[in-house]
Amino acid sequence: MADNVAVQSKILSNGTPFAGADIALIKAKTDTLPASPADDATVAAVGLVTAKDATVAKDATVAKESGGNLAAVKAKTDLIPADIADVPTASELNSAHGPGSWEGGGAAPTVQQIRAEIDSNSTQLAAIKAKTDLLTTAGLKSTWVVQTGNQVNVAAARTTHFDIFNAVGSGKVVRVLGVYIIPTLVAVTGVGLTWDMIRTSAVGTGGSVLTPQPFDSANTALPAQITARGKPTGGATTSITWFSPNTSSEETIPYASEASILNHIPLSMTRFQEAQGLVLNAGEGLKIDQTTSSNVGSTNMVVVFTVE
């Protein structure tokens, strides 16, 4: 019996590990607890809730969130694309927007304003298409050539050898970029000849109908209002005289052999497609008159023009 008491004292001693020392630590904690648990009034006074109250509050919150608030959240998340990679970054948005404010410029346009803008753009596109329809390869304009063939010179004060006219309704502008006055190389005792380049306000009549040929077979056909004639006998009313070049019917001089490459429109070194040329708007034409009275030799008129 004495031995048991000694063992019990040893176990309960404060110096014994796992019993005395540890129990002492546990006791130090429990000493801070009140003699009896706090009642609900005390808990409420310090701002706490009971387990029952917490359950009720939680149930109310869940009920509320499962209604309108969750629906609002879903409405927002429905806008998020399935693949987040499709959403542009801020940098991409700024790059696409360009410099300037992100703020709107006023009220949204009305349906009428939008329709007016579409109509305006359609009109402009139609005008652009009308221009581009005249282009061939490499952005070149539709280019044409027409010639009279050898026509006998006339001993008269004035004789019209050629006319081209762009009548109203063609929808085109004709630009004459080259006029070549070429004498035949038949042996004659030639003379100097003067010619007038004249803008006309009426189409020529009579004479022989001439058919312009395209530089490119893919060119859009000329409108019926653009016509040309050799030695018209009427019409071709004079508007103004642009200029008056000189030639010769003498076949032995250098001019005769070089006439086919001598352009009588003073374009200097400007390339055809960069020159304005002699412009024939709707209702305008060009005629070439022999103003030297001489029936010596024959002359071929070659005219190069574009349409746009």
Angle at 39 between CA 38 and CA 41, to 5 degrees: 120
Cα–Cα dist 270/215, whole Å = 19
Q: What is the mean pLDDT of the chain?
A: 79
* pLDDT for position 112: 83
Which band of pLDDT confidence, cut at 50, 70 and 90, is reported for residue 217? very high
Domain ranges of the chain: 2-76, 142-307
pTM more than 0.85:
no
Alpha carbon of 182 to those of 148, 152, 197: distances in Å? 10, 12, 15
Asked if the model's pLDDT at residue 207 lies above 70, the reply is yes
Helices (H), 31-80: 40-45, 51-64, 70-77
Which band of pLDDT confidence, cut at 50, 70 and 90, is reported for residue 196? very high
Angle at 103 between CA 97 and CA 106, to 5 degrees: 115
